[in-house]
Amino acid sequence: MTEVLIVGAGPTGLTLALWLTRQGVSVRLIDKHASPGETSRAMAVQARTLELYRQVGIADAVVAAGHRTPAMNLWARGKRRARIALQDSAAGLSPYPFVLVYPQDQHERLLVAELQALGVAVERTTELLTFEDHGDRIAARLRLPDGSEQTAQARYLAACDGARSPMRQQLGIGFEGGTYRQVFYVADVELGGLPSMDEAHIALGDGDFILVLAYSKRGHYRLIGTVRDARAERAENLTFADVSQDAIGNLGVRIEQVNWFSTYRVHHRVADSFRRGRVFLLGDAAHVHSPVGGQGMNTGILDAINLSWKLADVLKGRASDTVLDSYAAERQAFARTLIATTDRAFTLITAEGSVASFVRTYLAPTLASLAYRLRNVSELMFRTVSQTMLHYRDSPLSAGKAGAVAGGDRLPWVRTEDTDNYAALPQIGWQLHVYGSAPPALQAWCDARDIALRVFAWQPGHHAAGFAQDAAYLVRPDGYVACAAADASRAALDAYRVSRGYRQH
């Protein structure tokens, strides 16, 4: 019997399959489409995603193939009002202190290749029709490429089947939220006449905006914009010719070639539940929101990684099924916060009225440029957009505090002369970190529980990052601190594990 059946082979489903396979969990990955997407769609890969990609050895390949965005230029009424340098704002916060632009179609091909190397193929033109949860397994009725039907058995079922998720609908799970009245358009173009061609540019107009991102060395750009006037009433007939003058007028560019153009409505919704029995919702099936900040694909990827190690621990008999409840507790709370944040940001940059227009086109660019020069502000902005600020302190899996680091925090990144503490995370598994010296008995405790012990000689950088000297930090397979024990007590660590449903040996 397959351990996890995954429906949907976008970035979320592919990531879930890759992480599960790396942990020795058998998967079956199906997708009803005959071929993967061939357009760039989602573009941004955030630092937190890259940190986790480093665990499975693909971060370097993604960074090499992508395009680092060194600065953001703010335009209004045809003039560049401000330039915000992005490269230096995150120094010391992450091994990936930048926003990476990497088209989704290329991203998916890389993940597919990684899975193929592990012997896992995407089963295309294969559709989930219905499923039943029998308590100890899932029975799923599939339509195969030749039109025949098959009943597949799996221990768990993962819905990565998009915003219209038939699986979510079959479960009867609500998808509360709303729809923005603006029509979004996206285009992959070749253009000229733009200063600082390798940087990002955003033009703020009277209620609409245009974003231009470079994503290749061959002069290819992603153009994203909104329209709310009469053109929005005939969105299905909107062509690039209808919006091209916006970009030409606001940014002064020459559109030389249009390779792809599409329009869509944007929703902001969160599923009422992320788990129903043995079925889990991930990615767009669980939450959709404004593209502001480049968060959507990254959030789905982090859903997949969050769920993967919990499924692996349960399926391998290391933990009870109750551990899986923390998936919904952690990821649903974050999705709601994210949607509230992106909704406020989108409302701000598209607000109507003369006052709003003045603030957006004159005041905001100047203030943003000045504020970004303040280290605290630039760090906060990077942490927010990169999702490195995300924590699970309120999770049922989080406990304790030592120094400034609490259970549920992302493990602070610390670079030393020749390495960094994330170099100790090349595998997907539990670890115990001690910054300073560890009691000899701690090694035996870790060995008995198949937990890697990592001891780092105490340095000033550890104190600056918030670690307490000689404390023990139990680190989850996804790089978040599960339990912080100031006295490095084995009793405290045992009590944590028992209370969270983990077996002792």
Burial class (CB in 10 A: 0-12, 13-18, 19+), 185: buried
Report domain extents, the chain: 2-64+103-176+271-342, 399-499
* pLDDT of amino acid 356: 61
pTM of the model: 0.94
Q: At what angle do helices 296-315 and 325-350 cross, to 10 degrees?
A: 180
* pLDDT of amino acid 230: 63
Residues in the chain: 505
Q: At what angle do helices 441-448 and 490-499 cross, to 10 degrees?
A: 20
The helix (H) or strand (E) run that includes residue 261 is strand 254-271
What's the CATH architecture for 2-64+103-176+271-342? 3-Layer(bba) Sandwich (3.50)
The answer to whether 411 and 473 have CB atoms below 8 angstroms apart is yes
Handedness of CA 421, 423, 429, 434 (dihedral sign): negative
Q: For 399-499, CATH number? A: 3.40.30.120
Q: How far apart are CA 213 and CA 229, in angstroms?
A: 24
* pLDDT of amino acid 51: 97
End-to-end CA distance of the chain: 27
Q: How far apart are CA 215 and CA 243, in angstroms?
A: 21
The answer to whether 411 and 431 have CB atoms below 8 angstroms apart is no
CB atoms within 10 A of CB 117: 9
Q: How far apart are CA 159 and CA 166, in angstroms?
A: 9
* pLDDT of amino acid 375: 72
Q: How far apart are CA 435 and CA 456, in angstroms?
A: 5
DSSP-derived letter for residue 468 is P
* DSSP-derived pairing of the beta strands 481-485 and 399-402: parallel
3-state secondary structure of 411: coil
Handedness of CA 46, 50, 51, 52 (dihedral sign): positive
Amino acid sitting at position 141: R
What are the tokens at 7?
């429906």
Domains 2-64+103-176+271-342 and 399-499 share a fold: no
* pLDDT of amino acid 319: 96
The answer to whether 80 and 73 have CB atoms below 8 angstroms apart is yes
The residues that bridge with 153 in the sheet, in sequence order, are: 139
CB atoms within 10 A of CB 16: 30
* pLDDT of amino acid 351: 65
* DSSP-derived pairing of the beta strands 2-7 and 149-159: parallel
* pLDDT of amino acid 66: 94
DSSP-derived letter for residue 362 is I
Q: How far apart are CA 483 and CA 475, in angstroms?
A: 7
What are the tokens at 103?
């088209």
Q: Using alpha carbons, list the distances in angstroms from residue 280 to 6, 133, 138, 157, 390.
A: 10, 12, 12, 6, 21
Handedness of CA 133, 281, 325, 492 (dihedral sign): positive
* pLDDT of amino acid 386: 87
**Per-residue tens of pLDDT for the chain, all 505 residues:** 999 999 999 999 999 999 999 999 999 999 999 988 766 578 899 999 999 999 999 999 999 999 998 888 888 877 888 888 877 777 889 999 988 999 999 999 999 999 999 999 999 999 999 999 999 999 999 999 999 999 999 999 999 999 999 999 999 999 999 888 788 888 999 988 888 888 899 887 766 778 899 887 677 899 888 877 666 666 677 888 887 776 677 788 888 899 889 888 888 999 999 999 999 999 999 999 887 767 889 999 999 999 999 999 999 999 999 999 999 999 999 999 988 888 777 776 666 666 666 666 667 676 766 766 777 777 888 888 889 999 999 999 999 999 999 999 999 999 988 889 999 888 899 999 999 999 999 999 999 999 999 999 999 999 999 999 999 999 999 999 999 999 999 999 999 999 999 987 6
Q: How far apart are CA 154 and CA 3, in angstroms?
A: 5
The residues that bridge with 270 in the sheet, in sequence order, are: 176, 287
